[in-house]
Structure 1
Amino acid sequence: MYIVDLLPAAERERYLDIRAFLQSTVRQASIDYWNREEFPFGLLAEMGKRGLGALQTDGTSKLFKGLMYVEVARADVSLSALVGIHNELIVGMIDALGSEEQKQRWLPGLITFTQLGAFALTEPGHGSDIAGGLETSARLEDGEWVINGAKRWIGSGTIADFALVWARDEADGRIKGFIVETDRAGYRATKIANKIGLRIMQNADIVLDNVRIPASNMLPGATDFAKANDLLRDSRAWVGWQGAGIQLAAFDVARSYSLERRQFGKQLACFQLVQQQLAEILGNASASLALMAQLARIQTDGKLEMAQAAMAKSTCTRLARASVAMGRSLLGGNGISTDYEMGKLFGDAEILYTYE
């Protein structure tokens, strides 16, 4: 039995349809965008038509959602980062912690990908050290919140319609969540260029200079950071699914190359060492998928703990790093060129291992 066979029939049919679209359309098209560090708005629109912006709210199973993250990562890791952050941290936060007015204003556009949000937590000097290091401040003044601070590595920061900014309330010292529209005075986002991975993702440095927003832009359910931690736990688990997806991509590329490439009068795939490498890559991917499928069961039962999510993320991305390195080696000199995809995967795997 394959993991996909665990899905209900309707979810399985939808999974196969979306997987075919991602492989036939997104995978090849993404390479040029990745090389140029540009964002494929047209591809995002097509993904929205297939419901990839609504995975958090469409009522499908945890396993289906996870397998969708796998298949998007298999096609392009940058877009899988956007899809995961979008569902887990933007749609998820507003749906769970937002007011009815905020949900009505933002969710319809978000779930169709006609609008984008950015999750603005990490800061230049402190990374994700939330408890002791977060410096961005919020002050309530004349019925408005005044936000000051800086954020770094914010995905979609230059293209989003709003940023979900985490700031420390000057009045009580608590960290709270605020919706900051990106066209407000004082919001400045600068693209971080020259990355070795996730080059499609438009990461940004953000400066918030006396940005004024209505009092109603604070998320009423995010009056302290502990309430957001449950969603961050699930987002950490999502990176484990990414790790499984990039390993399948590495296997796809390595297998295809070993069947097409001939050395010493025969296919590379005929050599036992190459066969061993392919088996190890696929074995790592299979182990990662099995681990994540079990994690989905734990999530469904409402029993997932942060330590479990972190362990899964750590394990799957460690195996991903090893699998992609093995695939790069299998391609020889061609493995360092993004023309053969493996070089692209090699850079992306480093990011998965590093973040979350």
Structure 2
Amino acid sequence: MHRGLLSPSPPMSTASSRPRPPINGDFYDWFSTLPDEVNAARLKLRDFMSGEWEPQANGYWERAEFPREYLVGKMKELDLLHGAYTPERAGMATVMDGLLSMEFARVDPSLATFFGVHAGLCMGSIALCGSEEQQAEWLPALRRWDLIGAFGLTEPDVGSGVARGLTTTCRREGDTWVLNGQKKWIGNSTWGDIVIIWARDEADQSVKGFIVRTSLPGYSAETMQGKIAQRTVLNGLITLSNVRVAERDRLQRANSFADTQRVLVTARCGTAWQGVGCAMGAYEHSLRYAQERTQFGKPIGSFQLIQMMMVKMLGNLTAMIGLALRASELQDRLGPKDEMSALAKQFCAAKCREVVQLARESMGGNGILLEFHVARLFADAEAIYSYEGSNEINAMIVGRAVTGYSAFV
């Protein structure tokens, strides 16, 4: 049986009639410091994720299926991107988007990736690197979820080294650009409407960005198979074979990898929040299990070793929330800073890994069964740990900032 995190659940034993403390991953009440409208949006999404999506999340994960029409319809109903990339959200944009990412990941990190690729990386590329005309043309439809976006940077043989080793090329011919190459791990690319493609100009070796319609001749995307993490979101291997893109669809303010980096830095806080959400979901499921599961005649939550696991998980989670929230607030106030978003991502992704491991361990053999939910979060945490800059890359970004020396090759 599948149960929502906040829904009542029948006790697994009547060994103890003592009232159970509430299941709450926000032990220090961080979210009470946020404006009412921010919490209202967060809790609206939580209601959907816990009440409607969680009971079916394991099935879609196990089958590696993404119910696109259903989920896009729900995104339209929730209207999560109302005011995104407008003055209406100025001052709280990073916090708002981060909290939404957390609520997605608390139940299903696959949906957090779906949201982050569309709203953070695709829309962010157009907002930061597009002309005013391009923003007016594309952002309203993306806000309404009438169009679905993707972001194509990583390549089959180039991951962390894209700054210097980008192999996808672009060549100008009159009023069009010809794109050739491949992109790998690209979420939403097999069924979305547009993909932001980053390519190296054959003429001057500079990096440029393009809004590529997936209907263009020469564009193809094959769904990647065999993933052990975030199986619900569909990642694609894109092949670009002489794809012709109009000059008007070249991002007019993207002329170097530094511009690509601006998008990555801006979106990286959202990935830190994904780590928070994944850890929060694992902790809360584990805590409920500890309250209900009995061994040797009493709830396992009464044993010292299980309580130590709970405290370790809660300590990590509480620190993660504080770090992600402060990094997001500073980004909203001062603008993106590479080292601050890198620290948030590095720390939260690493601690998420610890939390899901403890949560799985606390459940014993049941921890590897999907029906108890933690197994899925345990696997999905590996993707969070790896993307948006690996743990080591983000550590070197922060290390360079604090020591003054670059350790990059």
TM-score by length of structure 2 reads 0.83
Which residue does the alignment assign to 1:144? 176
Residue deviations 1:274-312 (CA, integer Å, cap 9, x gap) = 122112112111110001111122112225421221111
Measure how far apart 1:227 and its partner are. Answer: 2.0
Question: Is 1:44 aligned to 2:72, yes or no?
Answer: yes
Report runs of 4+ in structure 1 exceeding 6 Å deviation.
none
* Structure 2 residue ranges without an equivalent (≥5): 1-27, 389-409
- Give the residue type in structure 2 aligned to 1:172: D
Residue deviations 1:325-355 (CA, integer Å, cap 9, x gap) = 0111111111112221111011101111111
- Select the residue among 365, 368, 372 that pairs with 1:340: 372
Task: Report the RMSD for the aligned CA atoms in angstroms.
Answer: 1.6
Distance 1:219 1:130, change over 3 A: same
Which residue does the alignment assign to 1:323? 355
Measure how far apart 1:102 and its partner are. Answer: 2.6
* Structure 1 residue ranges without an equivalent (≥5): none
TM-score by length of structure 1 reads 0.95
How many Å separate the matches in 2 of 1:273 and 1:32? 32
Structure 1, 210-219 or 97-106: larger mean CA deviation: 97-106
Question: Is 1:240 aligned to 2:272, yes or no?
Answer: yes
SS in 2 for 1:197: coil
How many Å separate the matches in 2 of 1:196 and 1:313? 21
Structure-to-structure mapping, 1:1-356, within 5 angstroms:
2-41=29-68, 42-54=70-82, 56-57=84-85, 59-60=88-89, 61=92, 62-356=94-388
SS in 2 for 1:301: helix
- Give the residue type in structure 2 aligned to 1:83: F
- Give the residue type in structure 2 aligned to 1:272: Q
Residue deviations 1:205-237 (CA, integer Å, cap 9, x gap) = 111001112121101011222123222112222
Distance 1:101 1:297, change over 3 A: closer
How many Å separate the matches in 1 of 2:82 and 2:162? 28
Instruction: Tell me if structure 2 keeps the 8 A contact 1:7–1:64.
Output: no
Instruction: Tell me if structure 1 keeps the 8 A contact 2:110–2:233.
Output: yes
Which residue does the alignment assign to 2:6? none
Structure 1, 273-282 or 242-251: larger mean CA deviation: 273-282
Distance 1:231 1:56, change over 3 A: farther
- Give the residue type in structure 2 aligned to 1:94: I
Measure how far apart 1:40 and its partner are. Answer: 2.4
- Give the residue type in structure 2 aligned to 1:10: E
Measure how far apart 1:54 and its partner are. Answer: 4.5
Structure 1, 59-68 or 255-264: larger mean CA deviation: 59-68
Q: How many residues align?
A: 356
Measure how far apart 1:161 and its partner are. Answer: 0.6
- Give the residue type in structure 1 aligned to 2:65: E
Instruction: Tell me if structure 2 keeps the 8 A contact 1:52–1:83.
Output: no
SS in 2 for 1:248: helix
